[in-house]
Structure 1
Amino acid sequence: MGAATVEGMEYDYFRYHPMPEIHSWMARMARAHPDVVTIVDYGQTYEKRTISLLKIGVNTGAKKKAIWMDCGIHAREWIAPAFCQYFVRQILRSYKTDPKMAEMMKNMDFYVTPVLNIDGYIHTWKSDTTRLWRKNMSPGPPDCECAGTDLNRNFDANWATVGISFDCCSDTYCGTRPLSEPEAQAVTYFVGSRKDEFLCFLTIHSYGKLLLIPYGNPNFTAPNYDELMEVGLAAADEIKKVHGMEYTVGTSPAVLYANSGSSRDWARLQGIPYAYTFELRDDDKFGFELPEDQIQPTCEEAYSGALHIITYAHDKTFKGV
């Protein structure tokens, strides 16, 4: 049921895929949809793997607005890359028959990174003992025996002020300085150099069934806090309509825990108006090891939520177009 044919090859969107399969899927999507899909390489991991995204949109010849989505910034959150792939499939399926998606693909480009933390993701596939690895794979400071930095504590956004650890063995180790990690640098440079184009910055995580808005530091409030909450609550309503799943909406300190140095907060500080973190299923029953039979409902409901935010941002920007 989850398989879709791309260039005559079956791809099952409702199971987890190792990195080589995701890379080959990206190449096939670009070949199968050459009019609207291109692969853009925009950085390297610590282990010198290329970080790539799919740029999806109709080439109008004009400068366009844009939507950002990244998945897999935390290695063990396998449902996130699964969602990015599903999201790509859905927008490519719908834009030729759905007038609204066709309009959005004409006015905006979608930049989707299926796996940002490629080194860490590959590490989680090696064995049961590495399955729950969270960080990237860069070595710690010279006096540390542990590897890895939490990429979502490494962005230049109130860096190292709250909700982080300076212990290099901690899952929330923030690095030696802001943007010490090449993966965080790649996002910063790519998005930052085009920040006026981006309307939405959606970063996909698990778990907890949450929609988080800026900021992770409780001492700061987003200038459009009320609008972010309103749009987020409406997105949560759309999520609930699909399978009855209830998502909680709020700032991280209000509904989860305080943190700093996240990509979401960095994006909002750059002036990107709609910055959200999706924390997908599950709860504490399965945690990061969400069974494959939950991939489909998780993706279906999250797609409805993401589409609401994206559509809202589009319509506000292009009202009357």
Structure 2
Amino acid sequence: MKSVACIICLLGSLLHEGFGLKVQYNGDEVLKIVPQNAQHAQYLQDITTELLLDLWKPPTPEAIHAGGEVHLRIPSSHVNQIKDSLLQYNIPHNVLIDNVQQLVDSHKVNEKTTTKVSLETYNYTKYHPMDEIYEWMEQIKQRHGDVVTKHYLGQTYERRSIYYFRIGYPSDKKKKIMFVDCGFHAREWISVAFCQWFVNEIVSTHRSNTVLNNVLKEVDLYIVPIFNVDGYIYTWTTERLWRKNRAPFNNGSCYGVDLNRNFDVQWCTIGASKDCNSNTFCGPSATSEPETKALSGLIEAIKQDIIFYLTIHSYGKMILLPYGYTLNLSKDHDLMMEVGKRANAKMKEKHNNEYDVGASSHVIGYFDSGSSGDWATDIGIKFSYTFELRDNGTYGFVLPEDQIKPTCEETTTAIMSMVEYVNEKYLENNAVVIRSLSINVLLAIAMCLHSTLSS
């Protein structure tokens, strides 16, 4: 009995530390498959659905079509069988990732905080667990209190707090808003890393950057560094490739809602699933989740002041405009394309990395509904963009840490071009500056003419 008790105690200890709970991907492969005809596409739809395979691109089996690129994670137990069947059906394919677990392990970071978080030593080129991010948020608030305030957005299903920063100079006047959120999908760690990088960039340069300094007098940046807190923590403790939140369904037989399919815009009509086992499960109803309720509630309250809504995801290297649920274009599509292309051109100058720009359903080649970007447009926000960051599938959702810096640099450049657009088109201060310059130029010309005539 003593030996049994010791074994139980040991198992309990392992489970407590998280080792016994880890989902392993040993021998799993990610295949790039290109169906050549409708029969190929149907076959891929069928095996993905029947085997509940993890479809990385596109997000739903229904979106697989002839000529469209498919990225599919195959469990080691099915790799040979599926490769054989692809050869049998003459479906072109190649291996993107030959061992998913090896890739996860090679980019694994320390899961536990070993030292107290310090802004002086905080490494923005590393992925950070949630406890470090919480501490980082608090220190950002304390260190940069002249321009930063931290606010409570709401609570997750597992009763964790979601916070957002409000960054801007204090003002008695009502200010315009640029809204940025990161971390909708738990496994998209680069999104969360970007928001931390971007906040640091703003607080570090707002005094030396003339445009930013001017903008923050009349515009507040609302930044949600991580939205899907429960899911993000779960990717660190249990399942690295988890996507959804952690709400249970069917008496705990399945978990999680795709938060970017849960907004009240053509909810669950296309490109989403009502099966709670699916990665694109839209939930039992629109805004059913505490996370989406909290975000939509805040945005509804301030929507009249929001100029830009930017939501950051991965992967695919795209700047997407509404809409995802229809081929129809939004009413401000042409203007949004102009601003999006300008952002992309600035981005390309940074690392010669070009993104695709266009309406979501046109660029990605499939439909989706219930997204925050489409919802933002439909409630009247003029500029709504979804950024899909690096890469194109070489690493997929397991982007190496050496890619964080260039990814964040180019994305910051793109968003700063939008900040510049706001400065040019929307600010009173900028208009005053331009008028002052014009008057000074006219005065100089007048004085020059007077001097010439006098001589």
State the TM-score bracket (shorter-chain normalisation). over 0.9
Post-superposition offset of 1:157: 1.0
Shift of 1:9: 3.7
Specify the alignment match of 2:360 in structure 1.
252
Work out whether residues 185 and 243 of structure 2, in 8 Å CA contact, stay in contact via their aligned partners in 1.
yes
| Secondary structure of the structure 1 residue equivalent to 2:237 | coil
1:1-321 alignment runs, 5 A limit: 9-127=120-238, 130-142=239-251, 145-256=253-364, 257-318=366-427, 320-321=431-432
Look up the equivalent residue of 2:324 and give its one-letter code. G
Per-residue deviation, 1:101: 0.6
TM-score by length of 1: 0.95
Moved more, 310-319 or 184-193: 310-319
State the 1:314 CA deviation.
3.8
2:253 maps to a residue whose letter is E
C-alpha displacement of 1:206: 0.3
Instruction: State the SS of the aligned residue for 1:193.
Output: helix
The one of the two structures with greater contact order (alpha-carbon pairs below 8 A, sep at least 6) is 1
Distance in 1 (CA, whole Å) between partners of 2:120 and 2:409 is 23
How far residue 246 of structure 1 moved from its aligned partner, in angstroms, is: 1.1
Change (3 A) 1:157 1:313: farther
The amino acid across from 2:315 in the alignment is Y
Distance (whole Å) between structure 2 residues aligned to residue 282 and residue 8 of structure 1: 28
Distance 1:21 1:242 in 2: 29
Q: List per-residue Cα deviations over 1:16-72 (Å, max 9, x = no partner).
A: 000110111111111111111111002100001111011111001211001110000
Instruction: Name structure 2 gaps, 5 residues minimum.
Output: 1-116, 433-455
Displaced runs of 4+ in structure 1, greater than 4 A?
none
Q: Which runs of 5+ in 1 are unaligned?
A: 1-5
Return the alpha-carbon distance in structure 2 between the equivalents of residues 8 and 199 of structure 1: 31
CA distance in 2, matches of 1:221, 1:157: 15
Match in the other structure for 2:71:
none
Is contact 1:280–1:298 with CA below 8 Å preserved after alignment?
A: yes
Displacement after TM superposition at 1:8 (Å) = 6.3
Q: Which has the higher helix share?
A: 2
After alignment, is 305-314 or 282-291 more displaced?
305-314
The letter for the 1-side match of 2:396 is: G
Distance 1:223 1:285 in 2: 36
SS of the residue 2:413 aligns to:
helix
Report how far residue 112 of structure 1 moved. 0.6
Deviation at 1:264, TM superposition (A): 0.5
SS of the equivalent of 2:254 reads: coil
Q: CA RMSD in A?
A: 1.3
SS for the counterpart of 1:76 is coil
Q: Once the 2 structures are TM-superposed, how far is the Cα of residue 218 of structure 1 from its aligned partner?
A: 1.6
SS at match of 2:422: helix
Q: CA deviation at 1:310?
A: 2.7
Give the 3 Å change call, closer, same or farther, for CA 8–217 of structure 1 in structure 2.
closer
Where does residue 3 of structure 1 map in the other structure? none
Using a 3 Å threshold, how does the CA distance of structure 1 residues 315 and 141 change in structure 2: closer, same or farther?
farther
Deviation at 1:110, TM superposition (A): 0.6
CA distance in 1, matches of 2:207, 2:413: 18
Shift in Å, 1:311: 2.3
What letter corresponds to residue 295 of structure 2 in structure 1? V
Return the letter of the residue paired with 2:296.
Answer: T
Maintained 8 Å contact 2:319/2:388: yes
Give the whole-Å Cα distance in 2 for the aligned partners of 1:313 and 1:74.
Answer: 28
